[in-house]
Amino acid sequence: MKEKNKFISAFEQFGRSFLLPVSVLPGAGIIQGIGTAFTNENTLKMFPFLNNAVFQFVMKFFIALGGTAFSNLPVIFAVGVSVGLAKREKGSAALSGLLGFLVLHNVLNFLLKISGRLVNTANLSSGAAKLALSNAMQTKVLGIQTMDLSVFGGIIVGVSVYFIHKWAVKQELPTMIGFFSGPRFVPIVTMVAMSFVAIAIFFIWPTIQAGISAVSILVLKSGPIGTFLYGLIERALLPFGLHHGLNWPVRTTELGGSWTIGGNHVVGTVNAYLASLADSSIKSIDPSITRFNGGKFVYFMFGLSGAAYAMYKTASPEKRKVAGSLLFAAAGTSFLTGITEPIEFTFLFVAPMLYAVHAVLAGSALFVMHMLGAGVATPTGHGFINLVIYGVLQGPKTHWWLVFLVGIPYFFLYYYVFKFMILKFNFKTPGREDTDEVKLASKQEARGKYGLKIQNVGQAAPQDTAPTPEKSEGKELSKQEKTHQQALGLIAAHGGPENIVDVNACITRLRIDVKDKSLVDKDTIVNQYEALGFAENGMQMQSIYGAYANVLKMEIQDILGLEE
C-alpha cells in the first residue's frame, strides 16, 4: 500500500508540474482566438466594417502574439517542468531548464551533422523544406535544426533537470571553488549531464518515436469507442488527482494525434485545434482533433447543472433553500468557468455510485459529440466563457451549436438519472442529511470515501492568535488586508510556522507540506477560512480555493519568508 501511495504521489507531482507551463496556454489561446475570430472570412462577411486596415493589423498582431507561446511549447515545458518539480531554488532550476534545452538541441544538431543525417534545406522552397524535415523526423527549434522531439523534448529536459537539481543544489565544493556551490553548481552539472542525455536520445529516439507514432495511430483508429473510454477514464482519475497526467500529454504531444495543417506537421490536440482556427482554408474542423475535448462542454455546463438541480429537488423541503444556494453556486461555477470539483466531490462523497454513473455519462458525452462531428475545443476550462471565445466567435467551422443541442438533453438526462438514483437508494445528498447541517462535501471526505486512505486530522494550535478575514477592530478591511488575515489564519490552522515545510499551489489548490499532520485543523480551514474542499496526500495538505489559491500561496510565502 505504501509503494502504491508513493507511485500515486509521484504521478500526481509529475502531472502537477505540467500546470505551470500549460497555464500560459489559456491566456495565449484567448489572445490568438480573438485574433482568428475577427480575421476569419465568415466574420468579415457578416460584419464588413471590421475589414479595415488598422483593426485587421491589431487582430493579426494578436495572432502572432498568441502564437508565440504555441510555437515555443517545448522550451516553455523545459523551463516550466524544471520549476514545477523543483522544491527549492527555483530560479536556478529555471536557468538550468533553459540551458539544458539549448544543450540538448545543439548537441543533437552536432551529432546529426557529424553522422551526415542533417537534412540540407538550403536550396528548397519553404513548403519543400518543411516536408523534407518532417520525413526525416527533424525540425527547427529556436533556429536550431534538430531531431523532432516536440513537447517531449521539453518534458525530458524538465525531468532530467529535476534530478540534477535535486542532487547538485546540495553539493558543497572545495573552498577554492566554493563560489560555484549550491544553486550555481546546478547549471554547470546540467550542461555536462544534458550532453550525455542528448547522445542517448540521438540513438534511441527513432525507436521511441516509432512507438509513439504507433500509439498515436492506434488512438486515432480507436474511433468513438476510444473517445468514450478516454472520457470515462479521465473522470475516474479525477478523485485521485491523476487526470493531469492523462490530459496534458494528449493535448500537447503526439500521443493525442498528429495532423498536417497548412503544410505544417502539428502534434497534440490543442496545437492542432489552434492551427485549424488560424487556417482560413479549413471550413470544418476535423472532429478527430476535438474528440477528447468537445464533449466536456456538455457535461461541465449542462450535465452537472442537471445533477445539481436533481439534488436540489430531492432535498427536504425545510432544507431546500440552503441546499439550493450551495448547489446552484457550485453548478454556476462549473457552467461559467469549468471548475467542477465542488459539485463533483459532493456526490462522490455521499454516493460513489453516482460518480460512477457520472463517469459513464461523461464518456458518452464525448462519444456523442465525436459522432456528430463537433469541432469545438479549448486549451483548458470547459465553461461558457471559453465556449464563446473558442467556439462561437470562431464561426461555423467549430460547429459550436452542437454543445447546446447535445447539452440541453444531457441536462435532463443527468437530472432524471440522478433524481431516480437519489430517491431509489436514499443517498444523503445536500439537504437530505440526517443532521441539521447542510454542506457540500470536502475533497478530503470524498477521496476517503472513494478508496484513498486518508488519516484523520486532529485539532490545530489555538486559533485566538489567528484573526479571521473579517476581524480588524471593527474596521472594514481592504482586499489585501483580508488576504493577509486569511493567510495568517491558514498558517495557524496548519500548526503554525514551525509545522510548515513548503507552500505551493496549482490552478485550484493551495498545497502546504507539514511536519505533523495531527496539528492541522481541516474544519477551521474549510469553515472559517472558506476553502471549498480539503484533502491530504501524505504530509501535503490541499485546500481548494480556485484561482485564489495562488494569491494565498504567495501571501503565506511572504509571511513565512519562504522562497519559491
Express each pLDDT in 137-170 by its tens digit: 888 888 899 998 878 888 899 999 999 998 888 7
3-state DSSP call for residue 22?
helix
Q: Give the confidence band of 464 by pLDDT, cuts at 50, 70, 90.
A: very low
- Least confident range of 18-27, 44-53, 246-255, 263-272: 18-27
Q: Give the confidence band of 245 by pLDDT, cuts at 50, 70, 90.
A: low
In this predicted structure, what is the pLDDT of residue 455? 38
The reply to whether 125 belongs to the active site is: no
pLDDT exceeds 90 at position 17: no
Tell me what the mean pLDDT of segment 366-387 comes to. 88
- Least confident range of 178-187, 318-327, 408-417: 178-187
User: DSSP assignment, residue 267?
Assistant: E
The model's pLDDT over 344-357, given as tens digits with 9 standing for 90+, comes to 877 877 788 898 99
pLDDT exceeds 50 at position 268: yes
Q: Percent of the chain beyond pLDDT 70?
A: 84
In this predicted structure, what is the pLDDT of residue 209? 78
Taking the C-alpha atoms of residue 342 and residue 327, their distance in angstroms, rounded to an integer, is: 9
pLDDT exceeds 50 at position 456: no
Taking the C-alpha atoms of residue 82 and residue 94, their distance in angstroms, rounded to an integer, is: 6
Q: Give the confidence band of 244 by pLDDT, cuts at 50, 70, 90.
A: low
User: DSSP assignment, residue 494?
Assistant: T
Half-sphere exposure of 2 (CA within 13 A, CB side): 0
The model's pLDDT over 82-137, given as tens digits with 9 standing for 90+, comes to 988 887 788 889 999 999 999 999 999 999 999 999 988 887 776 677 767 777 78
Question: Residues with Cβ < 8 Å from 307, sequence gap 6 or more?
Answer: 331, 343, 347, 354, 358, 414, 415, 418
In this predicted structure, what is the pLDDT of residue 240? 63
Tell me what the mean pLDDT of segment 57-67 comes to. 87
Instruction: Read off the C-alpha cell for 205.
Output: 529516439
Nearest to 190 by CA among 280, 283, 78: 78
Contact 290, 366 (CB under 8 A): no
Beta bridge partners of 266: 259
Tell me what the mean pLDDT of segment 407-420 comes to. 95
Instruction: Read off the C-alpha cell for 380.
Output: 483548458
Taking the C-alpha atoms of residue 501 and residue 557, their distance in angstroms, rounded to an integer, is: 11
- Least confident range of 68-77, 238-247, 282-291: 238-247
Q: In order of start, what are the domains of the chain with their CATH numbers?
A: 1-208 (no CATH), 273-429 (no CATH), 478-558 (3.30.1360.60)
pLDDT exceeds 80 at position 370: yes
Q: Which is more confidently placed, 223 or 14?
A: 223
Q: Which of 193-202, 213-222, 324-333, 547-556 has the highest mean pLDDT?
A: 193-202
Taking the C-alpha atoms of residue 103 and residue 457, their distance in angstroms, rounded to an integer, is: 47
Sign of CA dihedral 389, 394, 400, 404: positive
Tell me what the mean pLDDT of segment 19-48 comes to. 75
Residue 473: other Cβ atoms inside 10 A: 5
pTM exceeds 0.95 for this model: no
Nearest to 138 by CA among 189, 71, 89, 209: 209
* Candidate list 133, 311, 506, 544, residue with the active-site label: 506
Question: H or E stretch including 253?
Answer: none
Question: H or E stretch including 274?
Answer: helix 269-278
Question: Residues with Cβ < 8 Å from 437, sequence gap 6 or more?
Answer: none
Give the ranges where 426-521 is alpha helix by DSSP (H): 443-450, 479-493
Taking the C-alpha atoms of residue 234 and residue 250, their distance in angstroms, rounded to an integer, is: 11
Nearest to 367 by CA among 231, 523, 475, 498: 231
Q: Give the confidence band of 462 by pLDDT, cuts at 50, 70, 90.
A: very low
Q: Which is more confidently placed, 473 or 200?
A: 200
In this predicted structure, what is the pLDDT of residue 143? 87
| Crossing angle of the two packed helices 341-350 and 304-313, in degrees rounded to 10 | 50
Beta bridge partners of 509: 544
241 — alpha (psi -120 to 50), left (phi > 0) or beta? left
pLDDT exceeds 70 at position 18: no
CA distances from 128 to 121, 122, 133, 147, 261 (A): 8, 11, 9, 18, 15
Q: Which is more confidently placed, 514 or 455?
A: 514
Q: Percent of the chain beyond pLDDT 90?
A: 27
Q: To the nearest whole number, what is the mean pLDDT of the chain?
A: 82
Contact 251, 210 (CB under 8 A): no
pLDDT exceeds 70 at position 459: no
Tell me what the mean pLDDT of segment 419-444 comes to. 75
Contact 518, 458 (CB under 8 A): yes
